[in-house]
Amino acid sequence: MSEKTPSSQRQSERIPFSITCMFRTTILFLCKHSLFEIIRRNVLGHADESRSNNDICRYELTEMLAAGNFAASIACSIVAYVISGFASSISMILGFYGLYRIFEILIAQMKILLIDPFDENGNPKRHGVKSVQRSIVIVMANYVEIVFWFATLSIAFWSCSFGQPQAS
Protein backbone atom coordinates (compact mmCIF):
# COMPACT_ATOMS: atom_id res chain seq x y z
CA MET A 1 0.00 0.00 0.00
CA SER A 2 1.33 3.35 -0.91
CA GLU A 3 0.80 6.21 1.44
CA LYS A 4 0.26 9.64 0.06
CA THR A 5 2.82 12.20 0.95
CA PRO A 6 1.73 15.77 1.68
CA SER A 7 3.01 16.96 -1.72
CA SER A 8 1.12 14.23 -3.58
CA GLN A 9 -2.03 15.08 -1.62
CA ARG A 10 -1.72 18.72 -2.73
CA GLN A 11 -1.28 17.61 -6.33
CA SER A 12 -4.37 15.42 -6.19
CA GLU A 13 -6.38 18.23 -4.58
CA ARG A 14 -5.28 20.74 -7.22
CA ILE A 15 -8.03 21.47 -9.71
CA PRO A 16 -6.88 20.58 -13.22
CA PHE A 17 -7.12 23.15 -15.98
CA SER A 18 -10.27 22.84 -18.01
CA ILE A 19 -12.06 24.87 -20.61
CA THR A 20 -15.02 25.29 -18.24
CA CYS A 21 -12.75 26.73 -15.55
CA MET A 22 -11.26 29.18 -18.04
CA PHE A 23 -14.72 30.09 -19.38
CA ARG A 24 -16.08 30.66 -15.87
CA THR A 25 -13.11 32.82 -14.85
CA THR A 26 -13.31 34.91 -18.03
CA ILE A 27 -17.06 35.49 -17.79
CA LEU A 28 -16.86 36.41 -14.10
CA PHE A 29 -13.98 38.82 -14.79
CA LEU A 30 -15.87 40.51 -17.63
CA CYS A 31 -19.06 40.74 -15.55
CA LYS A 32 -17.26 42.32 -12.58
CA HIS A 33 -15.86 45.02 -14.86
CA SER A 34 -19.05 45.76 -16.79
CA LEU A 35 -20.75 49.14 -16.61
CA PHE A 36 -23.77 47.55 -14.90
CA GLU A 37 -21.64 46.11 -12.09
CA ILE A 38 -19.77 49.38 -11.62
CA ILE A 39 -23.08 51.24 -11.29
CA ARG A 40 -24.50 48.54 -9.02
CA ARG A 41 -21.49 48.67 -6.69
CA ASN A 42 -21.58 52.47 -6.51
CA VAL A 43 -25.35 52.76 -6.02
CA LEU A 44 -25.85 49.86 -3.63
CA GLY A 45 -22.50 50.21 -1.90
CA HIS A 46 -21.52 46.54 -1.89
CA ALA A 47 -19.61 44.39 -4.33
CA ASP A 48 -20.15 40.98 -2.79
CA GLU A 49 -22.50 38.41 -4.28
CA SER A 50 -24.14 37.46 -0.98
CA ARG A 51 -27.82 37.89 -0.41
CA SER A 52 -28.59 40.92 1.70
CA ASN A 53 -31.39 43.31 2.50
CA ASN A 54 -30.47 45.20 -0.69
CA ASP A 55 -32.21 42.60 -2.91
CA ILE A 56 -35.19 44.89 -3.52
CA CYS A 57 -32.88 47.79 -4.45
CA ARG A 58 -30.88 45.45 -6.71
CA TYR A 59 -34.02 44.30 -8.53
CA GLU A 60 -35.24 47.88 -8.93
CA LEU A 61 -31.82 49.01 -10.17
CA THR A 62 -31.74 46.17 -12.71
CA GLU A 63 -35.19 47.13 -13.97
CA MET A 64 -34.30 50.84 -14.19
CA LEU A 65 -31.07 50.12 -16.09
CA ALA A 66 -32.84 47.69 -18.44
CA ALA A 67 -35.57 50.22 -19.19
CA GLY A 68 -33.06 53.06 -19.54
CA ASN A 69 -30.82 51.13 -21.91
CA PHE A 70 -33.85 49.99 -23.90
CA ALA A 71 -34.99 53.60 -24.34
CA ALA A 72 -31.41 54.70 -25.08
CA SER A 73 -31.07 52.13 -27.85
CA ILE A 74 -34.20 53.43 -29.58
CA ALA A 75 -33.20 57.07 -29.09
CA CYS A 76 -29.63 56.48 -30.26
CA SER A 77 -30.74 54.73 -33.44
CA ILE A 78 -32.99 57.71 -34.26
CA VAL A 79 -30.26 60.23 -33.39
CA ALA A 80 -27.67 58.30 -35.42
CA TYR A 81 -30.00 58.33 -38.43
CA VAL A 82 -30.80 62.04 -38.14
CA ILE A 83 -27.20 63.22 -37.69
CA SER A 84 -25.54 60.65 -39.96
CA GLY A 85 -25.09 63.07 -42.86
CA PHE A 86 -23.15 65.74 -40.99
CA ALA A 87 -21.87 64.27 -37.72
CA SER A 88 -20.64 60.80 -38.56
CA SER A 89 -18.15 60.85 -35.66
CA ILE A 90 -21.01 61.17 -33.17
CA SER A 91 -22.81 58.37 -34.99
CA MET A 92 -19.69 56.24 -34.60
CA ILE A 93 -19.50 56.97 -30.86
CA LEU A 94 -23.14 55.89 -30.52
CA GLY A 95 -22.40 52.83 -32.64
CA PHE A 96 -19.43 51.80 -30.52
CA TYR A 97 -21.47 52.24 -27.33
CA GLY A 98 -24.10 50.03 -28.95
CA LEU A 99 -21.45 47.43 -29.71
CA TYR A 100 -20.34 47.57 -26.07
CA ARG A 101 -23.95 47.13 -24.88
CA ILE A 102 -24.45 44.12 -27.15
CA PHE A 103 -21.29 42.56 -25.74
CA GLU A 104 -22.37 43.39 -22.16
CA ILE A 105 -25.82 41.82 -22.67
CA LEU A 106 -24.32 38.64 -24.12
CA ILE A 107 -21.79 38.31 -21.29
CA ALA A 108 -24.49 38.94 -18.65
CA GLN A 109 -26.81 36.35 -20.22
CA MET A 110 -24.01 33.78 -20.37
CA LYS A 111 -23.31 34.37 -16.69
CA ILE A 112 -26.97 34.07 -15.75
CA LEU A 113 -27.60 30.94 -17.81
CA LEU A 114 -24.30 29.06 -17.57
CA ILE A 115 -22.53 30.12 -14.36
CA ASP A 116 -25.04 31.31 -11.75
CA PRO A 117 -26.97 28.00 -11.55
CA PHE A 118 -23.81 26.13 -10.47
CA ASP A 119 -21.30 26.44 -7.64
CA GLU A 120 -17.52 26.43 -8.12
CA ASN A 121 -17.43 22.62 -8.32
CA GLY A 122 -20.11 22.44 -11.02
CA ASN A 123 -22.83 21.18 -8.71
CA PRO A 124 -26.33 22.62 -9.18
CA LYS A 125 -27.34 25.25 -6.64
CA ARG A 126 -30.61 26.88 -5.83
CA HIS A 127 -30.86 30.05 -7.88
CA GLY A 128 -34.02 32.04 -7.37
CA VAL A 129 -35.45 34.80 -9.50
CA LYS A 130 -37.83 37.53 -8.43
CA SER A 131 -40.40 36.32 -10.95
CA VAL A 132 -40.37 34.37 -14.19
CA GLN A 133 -42.53 36.99 -15.91
CA ARG A 134 -40.06 39.75 -14.98
CA SER A 135 -37.16 37.69 -16.31
CA ILE A 136 -38.92 37.04 -19.61
CA VAL A 137 -39.81 40.73 -20.03
CA ILE A 138 -36.20 41.78 -19.36
CA VAL A 139 -34.84 39.19 -21.81
CA MET A 140 -37.31 40.36 -24.48
CA ALA A 141 -36.33 43.99 -23.84
CA ASN A 142 -32.66 42.98 -24.17
CA TYR A 143 -33.44 41.29 -27.48
CA VAL A 144 -35.15 44.39 -28.88
CA GLU A 145 -32.34 46.54 -27.47
CA ILE A 146 -29.78 44.45 -29.38
CA VAL A 147 -31.79 44.96 -32.59
CA PHE A 148 -31.76 48.75 -32.13
CA TRP A 149 -28.06 48.78 -31.23
CA PHE A 150 -27.34 46.85 -34.42
CA ALA A 151 -29.39 49.42 -36.32
CA THR A 152 -27.36 52.22 -34.70
CA LEU A 153 -24.12 50.46 -35.55
CA SER A 154 -25.22 49.88 -39.15
CA ILE A 155 -26.23 53.52 -39.58
CA ALA A 156 -22.94 54.70 -38.09
CA PHE A 157 -20.82 52.51 -40.36
CA TRP A 158 -22.95 53.36 -43.39
CA SER A 159 -22.65 57.09 -42.76
CA CYS A 160 -18.87 56.86 -42.40
CA SER A 161 -18.57 54.88 -45.62
CA PHE A 162 -21.25 56.27 -47.92
CA GLY A 163 -22.79 59.37 -46.34
CA GLN A 164 -26.37 59.65 -45.10
CA PRO A 165 -28.46 56.48 -45.45
CA GLN A 166 -31.36 56.84 -47.90
CA ALA A 167 -34.89 55.77 -47.02
CA SER A 168 -36.44 53.56 -49.65
What pLDDT is recorded for position 3?
55
Identify which of 133, 144, 130 has the alpha carbon closest to the alpha carbon of residue 67: 144
What pLDDT is recorded for position 166?
62
Range picked from 8-17, 23-32, 43-52, 120-129 for highest mean pLDDT: 23-32
84 and 165 Cβ atoms separated by less than 8 Å = yes
Q: Is the pLDDT of residue 25 over 50?
A: yes
**Structure-model confidence comparison of residues 66 and 58, the more confident one:** 66
- pLDDT band at 47, cuts 50/70/90? very low
Mean pLDDT of the chain, nearest integer: 81
Q: Is the pLDDT of residue 102 over 90?
A: yes
Q: Is the pLDDT of residue 34 over 80?
A: yes
Q: What is the pTM of this model?
A: 0.73
Q: Is the pLDDT of residue 143 over 80?
A: yes
Q: Is the pLDDT of residue 101 over 90?
A: yes
**Structure-model confidence comparison of residues 128 and 21, the more confident one:** 21
Candidate from 6-15, 139-148, 157-166 with smallest mean pLDDT: 6-15
User: Rounded to an integer, what distance in angstroms lies between the CA atom of residue 60 and that of residue 55?
Assistant: 9
Stretch 59-73: mean pLDDT: 91
What pLDDT is recorded for position 69?
94
91 and 83 Cβ atoms separated by less than 8 Å = yes
Q: Which long-range contacts (CB under 8 A, 24 or more apart) does 106-113 make?
A: 107/27, 107/30, 107/31, 107/34, 108/31, 108/34, 108/36, 109/139, 109/142, 110/27, 111/27, 111/28, 111/31
Stretch 96-114: mean pLDDT: 91
